[in-house]
Amino acid sequence: MSDWPLTKTFRSASGDVRWDTLGEPGRDAVVLCHGTPFSSYVWRAVARSLARRHQVFVWDMPGYGASQMTAGQDVSLAAQGRVFSELLAHWRLAEPFVVAHDFGGAVALRAHLLHGARHRALALVDPVALAPWGSPFFRLVGAHADVFEQLPPALHGALVREYVGSASSRGLHPAVLDRLVAPWLGDPGQAAFYRQIAQADQRHTNEVQHRYGEIGIPTLVCWGQEDTWIPPAKGHELVARIPGARLEPIAGAGHLVQEDAPAELTAALLAFLDRHAG
């Protein structure tokens, strides 16, 4: 979409990935990973701020946002971790900074622990990382995705709008909410929305969470203190599992910290990046 164009394409085994860069090439690279049911659009304010001093890479996971959505597509966390590793190789980024939100956190962790992706440092923002995860609504839809997929378009649109809006503690601007919901409407968006929930399997975090003690890179964990999707207590638990990790609470922010407190989040990320710059 014209307000956040992703002009480049990477062909992955899970479908075409749309991506782009901001900032001057050759500067320290920062890769931003989004979560579900979002897209790289949630990073726009943070990305533009970071791009003043870094080269910032943004991408939409296969099955999300502007990237390809197809029937039978593998959009699981396992697939996304592999795609992310392939993208890093495609970009020729040896050790970028990685900043990852929600499901993107699990993607970045799997890429690092299972696929050998080397991150210079890792910032996790309200990540999906520790069991149990998934709200009652998320689990209900996952168990009956084929039924929900048949909802009339108007009802589906209302459901997605309410669900996405609940990620913010302060309430999303109507235009922002429209933009976040738009990829999930119509064909193929409606089917893609339920597909990614149906494939969200906790075993993909179970496979790596016992290995968090192996993480030897600088790690920052930011957490919206009004997050109703994943309780802030998970942030404390995660930090306790990763050697040397530091917790940055973000007051007044819900799960979608990028929308609720972009200035506070950007400040925390800039301080972290400066501390571990090459």
Say whether pLDDT at 1 is over 70.
Answer: no
Grade residue 168 by pLDDT with cuts at 50, 70 and 90.
very high
- Choose between 138 and 180: higher pLDDT: 180
Q: What is the DSSP string of 160-223?
A: HHHHHHTT-SS---HHHHHHHHGGGSHHHHHHHHHHHHHT--THHHHHHHTTGGG--S-EEEEE
Mean pLDDT on 148-177: 97
Say whether pLDDT at 2 is over 80.
Answer: no
pTM tops 0.85: yes
Q: Which of 160, 184, 155 is nearest to 172 (CA)?
A: 160
- Please give the backbone phi and psi of residue 110, each rounded to the nearest 5 degrees, phi first: -65, -40
Q: At what angle do helices 153-165 and 174-181 cross, to 10 degrees?
A: 120
The residues facing 100 across adjacent strands are 33, 124
Output the pLDDT for position 3. 87
Output the pLDDT for position 135. 84
- Give the tens place of pLDDT for each residue, 19-66: 999 999 999 999 999 999 999 999 999 999 999 999 999 999 999 999
- Give the tens place of pLDDT for each residue, 60-98: 999 999 999 999 999 999 999 999 999 999 999 989 999
Compute the distance between CA of residue 67 and CA of residue 273 in angstroms, rounded to an integer. 28
Which 3 state secondary structure label does DSSP give 245? coil
Across the chain, mean pLDDT equals 96
Grade residue 136 by pLDDT with cuts at 50, 70 and 90.
confident
Instruction: Determine if residue 229 is left, alpha or beta; phi over 0 gives left, psi from -120 to 50 gives alpha, anything else beta.
Output: alpha
The residues facing 22 across adjacent strands are 56
Q: Which of 189, 169, 187 is nearest to 253 (CA)?
A: 169
Grade residue 158 by pLDDT with cuts at 50, 70 and 90.
very high
- Give the tens place of pLDDT for each residue, 195-234: 999 999 999 999 999 999 999 999 999 999 999 999 999 9
